[in-house]
Every structure is written in C-alpha cells, then in structure tokens.
Amino acid sequence: MLLIYTQKITPRIVYTFKHICTNVLGISIKFTTKIEEFIAHEGMKLSYGKQALGNELFVQKVDLLLEQGLSEVEIKVQPWGDNYCFFPVSENSALPFDIFAASFFLLSRYEEYLPHVKDDLGRFPASESVGFQEGFLKTPVVDIWAYKFKEILLERFPEISLANRKFHTRAIIAVEHVFNFQNKGFLRSLAGMHLDIIKLQFNKVLDRIQVVMRIKKDPINIFEDLIAFIKEYKVPLLFMFQLSDFSIYDRNINYNRNPYRSIIKYVGDYAKVGLMPGYFAMEDFKTLRKEKLRMENTVHTPLDSVINVKYNLNIPEFYNFLSELEIPQDYSMGYPETAGFRAGTCSPFLFYDINTESTLALKIHPYVFNSNIVEHTDFGQLTGDIGKMIAEVKKVGGSFKAVFKNQDFSEYSNFQAYYALLKQIYEIK
C-alpha cells in the first residue's frame, strides 16, 4: 500500500490518484491529512503538496485538483524526454510537472467545458484540443506519464508490487442502417430509386430491384461475413445497433420489424451487442430510456454498452443519462474526424463530472480510430499512423479500440481496405 499525504483530500485528488496508481499501475493507496501519521508510516509513502515534508517521495502540486468548478487554465506544454507534459513545477519534485493535475485535465475533458468553437454538427472538434494543437494527440500521454511514474516508484521502493497489464484490441461495428434497400417500404424505395437515377447510379437501381425481388442479398447486410471473420480469426467484435424512431436525422427502418430484430439476435449469438442512440436520445433522457428498453427487449439481457460516433457528445449531460439508467460502459470517447486519443489515454476510466465534482459509475472506453477518416486520408499514411499508435499502446499495455461501420465491408465500399485495417488492428497476418 502507498500512503499519500495531502493537506486536503478532494474528490479530484481521490479520482486521479486512483486512476493513475490503482487503475493503471495496480497499487493500492490510502490518503492521510495527518502529518504525524505520515511521518510514522514505515512503508511506501508519497507527499503531494507545495513543498516536501522531509526526504520522502514528493510530487509538487498545482492548484487544479484543489479547485471546484471551472477556471481559466493556462496550459504551457513543454518537452519531457521523448514526450510532452504541462503544469510544470520546481526541481524539488520527483517529476518536472504535476502528473495528477495534467491527467485530470485530459481525463475529465476539462477543455470541453470551456468556451470553444464547435464544428458544423455542434461537436467539439479535435482541432480545438490541446493535444492536437501541441502535437501529442496521437500519443496516450496519460499512460506514458503513469509508466514514467512507475519507474520512479520502483527506483524508490524496489519492493513495490505493480500490475502487469496486457495489450489488447477491440473493433466496434456501429450499425446505423442494417439494410440499404430491404424493408424500406414502397414510397421510400421509389424515392430512393428516383434519386439513384438522377445521380446516374444505375448499378444501385438494378441492385435495389434485385433486393426487393429477393434475387440478391442487401449489400450492407454483411453480418454473416463479419461473424465468419470472428470465427476464423477468433477475435472479439462489438456491434452497436441503432433502435431510434424514424426522423430526418435517423432514417433506419422500424426497429420492431422482424428482419431487423432477427439480425440483432443472430449477431448477439456470436458477439456482444450494444446501443447506438439516435439523435434525440443524445439530449433527451426519456428517449434514451425508451431506446434502452427496446434493445433489452430484443436481446433479453440488460444493456451493457453504448456508443455515439455521429452526433455531439454532450459532456457531461449524456454521461449523466447513462449513469442514471445504470448503463455501465460507453465507447464514445474519440474523434469521428481524426485519429488520436481524445482523453489522452488508452485505458478505460471512470468519468468525472466537473459540474457535480463526483465520479460517475460509468466506465469510458476510449477509441483511437474511426473509419470515417479513411476516405479523405492517404491509405499508406493511415496504416503507418495506426501502426505507430498501436506500438505506443503496446508499450503501456493499453487497449487499442477502433470504430467501423457495417457499410465499410459492403460491395459499395473499398471493403478490401477496411478488412486490411481490421486485420492490422488485430495483428492478423
């Protein structure tokens, strides 16, 4: 056990120390505000304050973890070895910066609470993040910092027992539409065919007719292919299905149609399934609860996971909805338009709500890559970037998560490229 002295124990301090020390490094910790108890302790100990008490392991703090609510935060990023850090402190500290305040800033998504320029869809864009602006977005800095801290702990306390994490990967398939042509109804099919003709997409006109006449399988109903991929390579996939009402934003078929439900049940026999909330569920609690119940009534198990990779991730309101509905896991923490580590980490973490200064019972699983970027990125550069990020995640025993769409693997897409990316992520030769 590591005893930690601090003058004041705040929710932010408890949250951040638990993540770095316990979640990432596997160290049990205890806090004290009593100098006498700290000095008398003969085991491993660390002080976190403005100045050291003696010759103990000392990490100097800045004020961020003592504050409540939001304030103007000055970020001065500086190089630290092969990496970057911010919130610098004096040379008396075991680290040249406040690792805990910097980690909290990234994990809590502090910058997303502050005024920022939104993109066309009302989302927080990667370009507004300090990681993007300072060049460390594609590096899991929080985990790298934690492992540097691990080296310091081992040097000071050789007897310390630390966890050995194992690198793993997981691909998520976001399913907004199960069918492209099938079960769309006469008027929608007619309107779609008219649009295809206007765009001179005569191959789609022919495909639509063949699918409606059941001569051909719907081109984006590729779930048997992906299940075959799971069976052949023995890898896990996580499928997220949308069950929202039809609207100008969500144009899937009726969630209650038997073909739709059958596919969800079929996929659920071979892989984990979760919910991809619709547009209105992102900001309306009752709508999200309704969609949650639809999924649970379809798969007959409690809903475990959700993802939002299309609409604005309204922090912290959406995460409070998930917590209140007792949905334990979210996979939305990433940028749809840019590869990288949105929260600076490749480790799952509990979400901290700055508005209430409390830790939610909601585990965030950050993703690194979204297939949206494939169409406007050089493929060679993309595979190179993914390879580098996988290598970074491996060094710290983290988790590399990537998001694809079922359409990526259809005949209307360059599916060979997406399968190549899927194999690269799972390191399939």
**Tokens standing for 337?**
């338009």
Sign of CA dihedral 370, 371, 377, 379: positive
Q: For residues 298 and 415, what is the distance between their CA atoms, to the nearest angstrom?
A: 29
Q: For residues 180 and 211, what is the distance between their CA atoms, to the nearest angstrom?
A: 9
In sequence order, the β-bridge partners of residue 352 are 359
- Virtual torsion, Cα 334, 292, 108, 173, nearest 10 deg: -20
Lowest pLDDT segment from 245-249, 311-315, 355-359: 245-249
Q: Tell me whether strands 2-5 and 83-85 are parallel, antiparallel or unpaired.
A: unpaired
Q: Tell me whether strands 29-32 and 78-80 are parallel, antiparallel or unpaired.
A: unpaired
pLDDT for the residue 186? 46
CB-side neighbour CA atoms (13 Å) of 93: 18
Confidence check: pLDDT of 93 > 60:
yes
Percent over 90 (pLDDT), the chain: 80
Q: Rounded to two decimals, what is the model's pTM?
A: 0.93
Confidence check: pLDDT of 330 > 90:
yes
Q: For residues 96 and 90, what is the distance between their CA atoms, to the nearest angstrom?
A: 7
Domain boundaries, the chain: 1-154, 166-179+217-424
* CATH 3.20.20.370 applies to domain 166-179+217-424: yes
Q: For residues 415 and 202, what is the distance between their CA atoms, to the nearest angstrom?
A: 20
Give 344: exposed, middle or buried? Use CB within 10 Å, 0-12, 13-18, 19+: buried
Lowest pLDDT segment from 39-48, 81-90, 255-264, 311-320: 255-264
Confidence check: pLDDT of 193 > 60:
no
Sign of CA dihedral 315, 318, 323, 324: positive
Higher per-residue confidence, 182 vs 218: 218
Confidence check: pLDDT of 194 > 60:
no
The one-character DSSP state at 165 is -
CB-side neighbour CA atoms (13 Å) of 121: 14
pLDDT for the residue 162? 85
Lowest pLDDT segment from 84-93, 122-131, 216-225, 314-323: 216-225
Contact 24, 348 (CB under 8 A): no
Interior angle at CA 345, CA 32 and CA 394, nearest 5: 110
Confidence check: pLDDT of 124 > 70:
yes
Confidence check: pLDDT of 226 > 50:
yes
Letter for the amino acid at 406? N
Give 373: exposed, middle or buried? Use CB within 10 Å, 0-12, 13-18, 19+: middle
**Tokens standing for 367?**
């993703």
